[in-house]
Structure 1
Amino acid sequence: MALSTPKDVYLFAYTLAQLAATGYVLYLAFSSFSDGPSAVYAVAGDLVRLLQTLSLLEVMHAVFGLVRSNPFNTLVQISSRVYVVWFIINAVPSAATKVLRIPYLGDDAHPLLGLSYATMVIAWGFAETIRYTYYACSMLGSVPYFVKWVRYTAFYVLYPLGISSELTVCYFANPTLRSTGMFSYRMPNAWNFDFDFAFFNTYCVMLVAYVAFSPMLYTHMMSQRKKALGGAKAKKQ
């Protein structure tokens, strides 16, 4: 579409800003790798949290009709990342720097296995860079076939990488959430109500929201890819 209205100009400027910022996050993530995986959080953590929070604007874009997206679907897609950066990482920073070790390899084996937060940021960064590039091209009226193909293909790798990384970070936070009672509301209290956030994080978020629903979302994205690309014999634009 032509950038002929204030709405179009705003959306294009928002898209370019997010594209530049997510590209910068990827640069920070890869450039800090030489200092160890935990350096990614130290260098990029604040910016990642800011960008994921600002992405809530996209829900408002849908609510006010600036884009055609369904507001509820947009909220569901964004809320998991906002949950991770605020209720997990911001609350328990150590979850972003713990080392994921493989049993029987020893404590000193493969120190670069502590990649959970780093791989999460990288998966998010690539996914968002690809998405915003696609949006920017679409707003200008022409989407190259390669951009479209990457938009509907990269999820095969990025989605499992991102989901597994998010799950690992949530798992790392659980001991602290359980021992401190953070975000919990325990009885006795005036409302006669009990809420255990560590239980919620384990069973409602990790087991239901991630493990149960992720396969359905994955197959949905495969279906969307087929519709967008028309199968293996799709013609290039």
Structure 2
Amino acid sequence: MRDPAAPSLPAPAVSSLADFHPAPGTMASGEEDGTVEEKENNNKKKTKSTLATIWLTSYNIVMTVGWLVLALAMIRFYVQKGSHRGLYRSIARTLKFFQTFALVEVGHCAIGIVKTSVIVTGVQVCSRLFMVWFITNGIRQVQNEESVILFLVVWTVTEITRYSYYTFSLLNHLPYFIKWARYNLFIILYPLGVVGELFTIYAALPFVRRSGLYSMRLPNKYNVSFDYYYCLIIVMLSYIPLFPQLYFHMLRQRRKVLHGEVIVEKDD
């Protein structure tokens, strides 16, 4: 990010030869001061850039390891139990921690160390948090649905691939198979993840309607009515315009990256 241009000042009128020809050493001193200031600014920029790279690398390593831990926990549970029933509850704490920690990515965009849209990143992260906190965590009756396991598996594979891609890119040692996985696996995983999320929300609708979960009925002291049942229906309908945009965006990114063109990376 380049610094904004300094405001130009009007040139002083030349009233004498002394004004036109500065005293010996004056120009050299000014040039030295300017050079020193420029070097200091460059050093500050390099320091900020280095610190940002160290932080982003550390963050992506932690998130890669976190999702790997989740993957191993799911595999171990299924091997031991031979069933998916109870799997969500066994990994819920770890899942909630690492998925909530992803809110940091919105901060990365807000302060400018990652060049992508705050709104896009915020929507993507918050949609995941909604599924975790207000669907699977808030409605226990759906935790053993096959659709929950479907989107959990998709999320886990996607996030391991995504965060490892960012980590190796920051370290300037990106293996081709990770690059390939990043821009090919989503072709199948994204639609499967959407199917899992939609079927989970759909499975939650009867329980929400019967219990009135998170709903507010009139009359109340706030004089506000809110029906979580219809809110979930609206959320499901929102997938119709949003999913194609994100999916085709990734397809465009895939074509550019696999053809070796330079692009601005955006979180998916």
Q: Identify whether the pair has TM-score above 0.5, normalized to the shorter chain.
A: yes
Identify which of 72, 81, 87 aligns with 2:128.
81
Identify which of 65, 83, 105 aligns with 1:20.
65
Mapping of 1:188-203 within 5 angstroms?
188-202=219-233
Alignment match, 2:264: none
Aligned residues with identical type, % of pairs: 34
Tell me how far apart the structure 1 counterparts of residues 111 and 49 of structure 2 sit (CA, whole Å).
19
Letter paired with 2:65: A
Tell me how far apart the structure 2 counterparts of residues 174 and 2 of structure 1 sit (CA, whole Å).
52
| Contact in 2 for aligned 1:15/1:135 (Cα 8 Å) | yes
Shift of 1:42: 2.4
Shift of 1:127: 0.4
Larger Rg: 2
| Contact in 2 for aligned 1:2/1:141 (Cα 8 Å) | no
Alignment match, 2:244: 215
Shift of 1:140: 0.6
| Contact in 1 for aligned 2:141/2:207 (Cα 8 Å) | no
Letter paired with 1:11: L
Residue 97 in structure 1 maps to residue 128 in structure 2: no
Tell me how far apart the structure 2 counterparts of residues 24 and 2 of structure 1 sit (CA, whole Å).
33
Cα RMSD (Å): 2.1
Closer, same or farther: CA 44–3 of 1 in aligned 2, 3 Å: farther
Residue 159 in structure 1 maps to residue 193 in structure 2: no
Alignment match, 2:38: none
Tell me how far apart the structure 1 counterparts of residues 244 and 53 of structure 2 sit (CA, whole Å).
35
Residue 175 in structure 1 maps to residue 206 in structure 2: yes
Letter paired with 2:57: F
Tell me how far apart the structure 1 counterparts of residues 96 and 161 of structure 2 sit (CA, whole Å).
19
Letter paired with 1:61: H
Q: Deviations over 1:38-94 (max 9, x none)?
A: 232122122111111110111011111121121111111111110000111111122
SS of corresponding position for 2:93:
helix
Closer, same or farther: CA 59–4 of 1 in aligned 2, 3 Å: closer
Letter paired with 2:69: Y
Identify which of 52, 63, 68 aligns with 1:7.
52
Alignment match, 2:258: 229
Q: Deviations over 1:181-234 (max 9, x none)?
A: 1111222234443211111101x1112x22342223222221221111129xxx
Tell me how far apart the structure 1 counterparts of residues 199 and 99 of structure 2 sit (CA, whole Å).
19
Higher relative contact order structure (alpha carbons within 8 Å, sequence separation ≥ 6):
1
Alignment match, 2:235: 205
Letter paired with 1:49: K
